[in-house]
Amino acid sequence: MQLGSPACPASVARRRLEIAGVVQGVGFRPFVFKLAKEYGLAGYVVNTSRGVEIEVEGPVELLDAFVTALPERSPPQAEILTLTSEPLPPLGDSTFRIDHSRAVGRAATLIAPDLALCSDCLRELFEPGNRRYLYPFINCTNCGPRYSIVTGIPYDRPSTAMSKFAMCAECRREYDDPADRRFHAQPNACPDCGPRVVLVDRAGGKIAESALAIEKSVDSLRNGEIIALKGLGGFHLAVNAKDQQAVARLRLRKGREEKPLAVMVRDLAAARQLVELGPEVEDLLNGPAAPILLAPARAGHGLARTVAPGTDRLGVMLAYTPLHHLLLRKFGGVLVMTSGNLSEEPICIDNDEALRRLAGIADLFLLHDREIYVRSDDSVLMRMGGAHRFLRRGRGFVPRPLLLKDDGPSVLALGGELKNTVCLLKGEQAIVGQHLGDLKNLASYDFFRENIGHLLKIFECEPELVVHDMHPDYLSTQWARDEQDRQVLAVQHHHAHLVSVLAEHRQGGPAIGLILDGTGYGPDLNIWGGEILAGDSRGFKRLGAFESLPLPGGDAAVKAPWRIALGYLYAAHGGEVPGLPILQGRQVEPVIEMLRRDLNCPQTSSCGRLFDAVAAISGVRSEIAYEAQAAIELMEAAGGGLERPYSWAISDDDAIFRLQLSPMIREIASEVRTGAGPGQVSRRFHGTLVAMLTGAAERARRDTGLNLVVLSGGVFNNRLLLEGLLESLPAQGFKVLSHEKVPPGDGGISLGQAVIGRRYLADQGQID
């Protein structure tokens, strides 16, 4: 048909649109279908491995309106990263249709994260007479599993864990109807054709199934028993959060002595009874990502005291799967809902795996027969400094990409040892994977390798470079060096921290970096962790650092802050150690002898270790049961305020300047000896850090002329320090960037590593 013929008037045009981003599994095709019908346009929409392709035909003014409306009115969980358009000759189509998905070249589209149960499905779940009444796997286009069940792109049922469930006639009708809420909802199912739950004992013997399995699970929870529950991205361990003995039994069996446990409630009203919430955090808590939110605990919340000892905050999340809703509606209370694993191991995802690994923890197992392909722990966030900040990024957010400033070659970055994540750069997209945990054992290492394999497969990517941390003993470093035939690059830990902030804000730098954490391997073979850097993705310079102080026993001292305190006191007092309450009754002399002879006492500039030392000296915590416990409890002791700083100074040390800590250590020791309590010490200590780091930034600005400051490192999970610097630095004229899209700790460094690696390739292997 020729343009201008009677059947195809001159005002009619046709266009091909290609859309990339999160546009599969979020109701995008039915949205396009309805929008085209609304504008009276013809053509088709189809999922491809590159995203969504649309050919649309009609009057030019209506085509223009349609293209404008696509990003403005797209489904809430969709994210359009690119939209390209090219003209085509009109074909004279008279209808608009949805075509079958097809593969077109390498995968470029993205998969939606797993989504919390939507309000429509929640209403139907508890609607007597609805055919999905009380069905634990109800879902629609707007909610349910996505990333955790997918094996390939395009995102269609044969490429998901639902491929083994043949839809019944009624589910098929919904699935095929563009006007239905379940049109092409890949996990669509009902009690007649979908997954089922079963309750079993530790040996796998069936106790009950379907509704009776949920009833008996609730009875067990009320009796203080521990249930291993198969969730969306893995197993949870659930127990009555108000039962002190049950919580203590869970801690003992799981090997989690004191680290706070998350709790789950049925709705916002129940959450408000436990924690203080504002409108911003309520929207986050009740949104499709449904993360764990750390919020101030209300007095008299009624939970067992061992749920979250030593902190004034509770980790709260709302029920986000239909199975959670069914349990909590019937249970009527609050459940501890913690990761289904032994401490330091990956979360379980497979029924047999759970029965094997969790048999020593759980009394009963609430299982189902829908497979989980991608392990994904719950995300954890906290509101600080006027923004939501990640402590852990996982379910609900992964694999949603970060859009980078520039395009370039594909790079895979492996993160560090603690709180590991990996990052894949593909085009302008940075796909930061889910929290994998600490790479300190074989199970975690296997999870690390499994995750990389899935990531590369699902996004059909062959990276040109693999980037790893500079530390030679990390398992990720060994994997890169021993198991890869690709080019590899080692990147310094704190350089990666600096660049991770620039990358997430789409900034090129250079910038001053205030990088504060517990441990990072320096090029000088020393332990870094309190660093003032200047740099960008091409390289960095160490401008300054905290005073290096001895760490008696090396890594062994990390579990015993009193040993760190002893080392710092010894150095600050010129080899003399003042008598302090925390040293009474301890084996002090062997440690002092180590210090005198400089045996296994590496020097460290770590800010994390400084927190440990001050926590011990002030009497807050002399030994810890989990990472950063001393620092967290020291922050809590301050009660939310800052006071006048202790003495501090900046001195020059060869090529860098040093922030002198010894004057502060001496003053704290003296103050404690005269009766100062932990609260006073903590308020002054935090005030000192804010003043000292602001002074360090000013010194760095004089040395470099830079006015942009980035804040990164696990210490910036400390709200007093973060908020203090976000106030003091701008007051001195600095522009400040901090993390909002990835965690400030080691869960974010893979992003920085990857961007450094891409710059390395662009510079033909030249990097400072």
Q: What is the DSSP string of 120-151?
A: HHHHHHT-TTSTTTT-TT--BTTBB-SGGGB-
Q: Is the pLDDT of residue 553 over 50?
A: yes
DSSP-based three-state secondary structure for 362: coil
Could you tell me the pLDDT band of residue 198, with boundaries at 50, 70 and 90?
very high
pLDDT score of 28 more than 60: yes
**Which has the closest alpha carbon to 226: 368, 366, 361?**
361
Tens of pLDDT, residues 661-677: 999 999 999 999 999 99
Between 152 and 53, whose confidence is greater? 53
Rg (CA), the chain: 28
Domains 380-491+747-762 and 544-737 share a fold: yes
Which residues make Cβ contacts (< 8 Å) with residue 204, sequence separation at least 6? 355, 365
Contacts of residue 67, Cβ cutoff 8 Å, sequence gap at least 6: 15, 17, 83, 85
Per-residue model confidence as pLDDT tens digits over 249-280: 999 999 999 999 999 999 999 999 999 999 98
Mean pLDDT of 622-649: 94
Q: Are 111 and 401 in contact (CB under 8 A)?
A: no
β-strand partners of 659: 546, 650
Question: Residue 30: which of 121, 141, 120, 113 has the closest Cα?
Answer: 141
Q: What is the DSSP string of 527-569?
A: EEEEEEEEEETTEEEEEEEEPPEE-TTGGGGGG-HHHHHHHHH
Instruction: Tell me the mean pLDDT in the region 705-715.
Output: 97
Decide if 160 contacts 151 (C-beta within 8 A).
yes
Q: Distance between CA 609 and CA 607 in Å, rounded?
A: 5
The full set of domain ranges for the chain reads 12-110, 197-368, 380-491+747-762, 544-737
pTM strictly above 0.85: yes
- In the structure, what pLDDT confidence band is assigned to residue 739 with cuts at 50, 70 and 90? very high
What pLDDT is recorded for position 6?
Answer: 38
What single DSSP character describes residue 39?
T
| Residue 556 exposed, middle or buried by CB count within 10 Å (0-12, 13-18, 19+) | exposed
Q: Is 128 exposed, middle or buried (0-12, 13-18, 19+ CB in 10 A)?
A: exposed
Categorize the per-residue pLDDT at 223 as very low, low, confident or very high, splitting at 50, 70 and 90: very high
Q: Is the Cβ–Cβ distance between 735 and 707 less than 8 Å?
A: yes
Question: Binning pLDDT at 50, 70 and 90, where does residue 555 land?
Answer: confident
65 pLDDT above the threshold of 60: yes
Contact between 501 and 739 (Cβ < 8 Å): yes
What confidence score (pLDDT) does residue 235 get?
97
Residue 18: pLDDT band with limits 50, 70, 90? very high
For the domain made up of 197-368, the CATH class stated in words is alpha beta
User: Strand pairing partners for 13?
Assistant: 58
**Residue 443's pLDDT is what?**
86
pLDDT tier at 767, thresholds 50, 70, 90: very low
pLDDT at site 104: 58
Class of domain 380-491+747-762: alpha beta
Share the mean pLDDT of the chain: 93
**Residue 653 confidence class, pLDDT cut points 50, 70, 90:** confident
Strands (E) located in 665-734: 708-712
Q: Are 467 and 497 in contact (CB under 8 A)?
A: no
**Of 689, 674, 610, the residue nearest 643 (C-alpha):** 689
Q: What is the mean pLDDT of residues 630-649?
A: 94
| 544-737: in CATH 3.30.420.40 | yes
Edge-to-edge order in the sheet of strand 411-413: 402-403, 429-432, 423-426, 411-413, 465-469, 487-491
Instruction: Give the integer Cα–Cα distance in Å for 245 and 262.
Output: 17
pLDDT beyond 50 at 343: yes
Q: Tell me what pLDDT residue 172 has.
A: 97
Q: What is the pLDDT of residue 566?
A: 95
For residue 3, what pLDDT is reported?
A: 37
User: Domain 12-110 belongs to what architecture?
Assistant: 2-Layer Sandwich (3.30)
The pLDDT of residue 11 is: 85
- Model pLDDT for residues 453-507, shown as the tens digit of each residue: 999 988 888 999 999 999 999 999 999 999 888 999 999 999 999 999 999 999 9
pLDDT greater than 70 at residue 109: no
Residue-level pLDDT at 99: 87
3-state helix, strand, coil in the chain (%, to 5): 35, 25, 40
